[in-house]
Amino acid sequence: MIKLLMLSLSGLLLSTAIQAKVITEAVTYTEAGEEYTGYVSYDNAIKGKRPGVMVVHEWWGLDDYAKRRTEMLARLGYVAFAVDMYGTGKVTDSADQAKEWMTEATVDVEWWRERAMAGIRYLKNHKLVDKDKIAAIGYCFGGGTVLQLAYSGLDINGIVSFHGSLPIADESTFGKIKTKMLIAHGNADPFIPREIVTKFQDTLDKAGADWHMITYGNVLHSFTNPKSDSRGMDALKYDKQADEHSWQAMQHFFEQIFK
């Protein structure tokens, strides 16, 4: 009888495991008359509402790397949405093209923030998301983007910047930054001079922000992306240890801000 019960329980657990699946869906939306396509991921085995996390892509556009991060977040129990900052189909392997698109997206700071806000609005309205538990993470250009959201006074639980561009907060933001911040940075990143890092940190202190920064020694830019080594750019290099450590730090950060 006990053996039969154990067999039945094993069958039930196997059935549940088979049914559990991370769902990833394309989401098309419009901002200022232009079409964008983001991607939402969630685990359909989890019942009820859960925190939502927005993912902002690198300057290459919303590619498979950003989508993979949404799926990784879904496996951790979140609803993740990869927001599109450039427009449907704008993905490239050309640094020149990426720089052009990034410049277009960032030249007007308010518009830069508004494009990202589309992802926050989507998460807050998603049927599986607890709208009071929202975070945003970003890589490179995306790291700068989530920092800009924090500077805007957006009231969400937290943001995480991975090898972000570290834009300096304007004095108009002082005393208005509400969201907690975690910044993961490579100390050997040639895109971010040391004096910029120091000014970035000092300005956050002056702004009264709640921030933490992890700096990885001898680590270059784009250290979380395994494809970095094939980009043909000396400034980019994947670092497995920094990638895994920063991802774990993000998870601990989420545990703190969502508890």
pLDDT for residue 8: 41
Contact between residue 163 and residue 222 where contact means Cβ atoms under 8 Å apart = yes
pLDDT tens for each residue of 142-159: 999 999 999 999 999 999
Q: Grade residue 13 by pLDDT with cuts at 50, 70 and 90.
A: very low
Mean local confidence (pLDDT), 227-248: 97
Residue 191 has pLDDT above 70, yes or no: yes
Mean local confidence (pLDDT), 137-141: 98
Residue 3 has pLDDT above 70, yes or no: no
Look at residues 211, 122, 114 and name the one whose alpha carbon lies nearest to residue 161: 211
Range of the domain at 134: 22-258
Per-position DSSP letters for 170-215, written without gaps between them: PGGGTTT--SEEEEEEETT-TTS-HHHHHHHHHHHHHHT--EEEEE
The answer to whether position 98 is within a domain reads yes
The answer to whether position 12 is within a domain reads no
The answer to whether position 156 is within a domain reads yes
Mean local confidence (pLDDT), 170-190: 97
Backbone angles phi, psi at 107, to 5 degrees: -60, -35
pLDDT for residue 11: 46
Those residues whose C-beta lies under 8 Å from the C-beta of residue 111, and which sit 6 or more positions away, are 32, 105
pLDDT for residue 19: 55
pLDDT for residue 86: 98
The partner residues of 159 in beta bridges, in order of sequence, read 136, 181
pLDDT for residue 1: 40
Q: Pairing mode, if any, of strands 34-43 and 22-31?
A: antiparallel
Q: What percentage of residues in the chain have a pLDDT greater than 70?
A: 92
Residue type, 64: D
The answer to whether position 234 is within a domain reads yes
The answer to whether position 120 is within a domain reads yes
Those residues whose C-beta lies under 8 Å from the C-beta of residue 32, and which sit 6 or more positions away, are 111
Average pLDDT of the residues of the chain: 93
Q: In the chain, which ranges are E strands? A: 22-31, 34-43, 50-56, 79-83, 129-139, 158-162, 180-186, 211-216
Q: What is the CATH number of the domain that holds 117?
A: 3.40.50.1820
Q: State pTM to two decimals.
A: 0.92
The answer to whether position 186 is within a domain reads yes
The tally of domains found in the chain comes to 1
pLDDT tens for each residue of 79-101: 999 999 999 999 999 999 999 99
Residue 171 has pLDDT above 50, yes or no: yes
The answer to whether position 146 is within a domain reads yes
pLDDT for residue 207: 97
Look at residues 243, 176, 244, 256 and name the one whose alpha carbon lies nearest to residue 212: 256
d(CA 162, CA 1): 54
Residue 52 has pLDDT above 80, yes or no: yes
- The Cα-based distances of 115 to 135, 214, 216 in angstroms read 16, 27, 30
Q: What percentage of residues in the chain have a pLDDT greater than 90?
A: 92
